[in-house]
Amino acid sequence: MVNLGAIIVFEYWETIPFHFIWISFTIVYGFRVWATRPTLVVLGVVMATTTAAIGLDVHRGTEPWAELTEVPLMASMFLAMVWNAQRRLAVTLVVERVSQQNERLLTTQRRFLQDASHHVRTPITIALGHAELLEPELAGRPEAADLRVILEELFRLRRLGDRLLDIAAAEDPDFLRPEPVDMAGFTRDLLSRWSPTVPRRWELGRLDEVTAWADPERLALAAGALLENAIQSTVEDDVIRLSVTGGDTAVLIVSDSGAGMAPAELLRVFERFQTGARGTGLGLTLVRAIAHAHGGEITVRSVQGTGTDFALELPAVPALLSEELPGLWR
């Protein structure tokens, strides 16, 4: 209304208030896209009032008739903006709807994994208890070998249930309790705990002094899964090497000189139930979930018949800052 008054009062300066009207109209519409009908009603009102105000100046002889052509021109530009905004809004609504559906599906999937794992663990624990009670009684008898197979499969099922729970929990905000972790010390400790368990040629490779911002418990879980995979891929004379490199990220590298993997196998190595004939098939999936929860990544490089390298990348703490942070894991 102020700008309409200005068009009438300032007869020779109608251009400035006229454009203020259309600019403000466009800005107000941009804050929230209106429905089509009220948009057209308001557009009609703006066109009619600005035409009347300029028409009065034309009638007075202070403006040429050509000034009236600006009204349909500005209206056309506004309608083009409305059309684009409506299309963008429609796409946004579709994307939001799909995102909500995907979120519901992921939530349902995580809940199913958690519920299934919990319900499966109880009967497995009971079965394990009874099987272990029978083991001393069957010692030295032919049935003892069958019982050992049963026990191994039950232990495997229990590990599978535990890993399903960990994978499902990886999406939760409270999954991690990160703190500074001295990766060189962590890797030495890892080797000292694992090397006595399986006869392999265990080695320490390059160990950069780098501090990762990580959850030590979850990191140990991921590293253990990588070592289990390396053990399954190797035999007694093969090498399993642990290394750490530092820089913008802290990288734990697990290398082995085992059978390696074919290119087709590499494409799906982190998918569920794709690896480990005697394992759970979830170890590398769990590693990827833990890496992503840290904001890191897991990569693999392998040559069939030569060996495999897995690199677990984690956020690194700057050297100067790591000296000041409490709770450094060593």
DSSP string, 9-48: HSTT-THHHHHHHHHHHHHHHHHSPPPHHHHHHHHHHHHH
pLDDT value of position 298: 94
Architecture of domain 177-322: 2-Layer Sandwich (3.30)
Enumerate the β-bridge partners of residue 314.
250
Domain ranges for the chain:
1-169, 177-322
* pLDDT above 50: residue 320: no
pLDDT tens by residue, 252-281? 999 999 988 888 888 888 876 555 444 556
Lowest mean pLDDT among 23-37, 59-73, 264-278: 264-278
Q: Are 17 and 3 in contact (CB under 8 A)?
A: yes
The residue type found at 142 is P
Tell me the pLDDT band of 330, cut-offs 50, 70 and 90: very low
pLDDT value of position 329: 43
C-alpha 263/C-alpha 300 separation (Å) is 11
pLDDT tens by residue, 133-160? 888 888 888 888 888 888 888 887 777 7
The one-character DSSP state at 258 is S
Q: Which residues contact 265 (CB under 8 A, 6 or more apart)?
A: 274
For residues 173 and 39, the model is more confident at 39
Q: Which residues contact 140 (CB under 8 A, 6 or more apart)?
A: none
- The mean per-residue pLDDT over the stretch 15-39 comes to 83
The residue type found at 39 is T
pLDDT value of position 126: 83
CA angle 20, 22, 27 (to 5 degrees): 90
pTM above 0.75, yes or no: no
CA angle 110, 163, 225 (to 5 degrees): 135
Which of 69-73, 180-184, 285-289 is predicted most confidently?
A: 180-184
pLDDT value of position 319: 55
Tell me the pLDDT band of 85, cut-offs 50, 70 and 90: confident
C-alpha 55/C-alpha 42 separation (Å) is 19
- The mean per-residue pLDDT over the stretch 239-259 comes to 93
Q: Is 284 left (phi over 0), alpha (psi -120 to 50) or beta?
A: alpha
Q: Are 155 and 131 in contact (CB under 8 A)?
A: no
Helices and strands, counts by H and E, the chain: 10, 7
The one-character DSSP state at 318 is P
Tell me the pLDDT band of 13, cut-offs 50, 70 and 90: confident
Dihedral (CA of 67, 69, 72, 74) sign: negative
pLDDT value of position 242: 96
Tell me the pLDDT band of 203, cut-offs 50, 70 and 90: very high
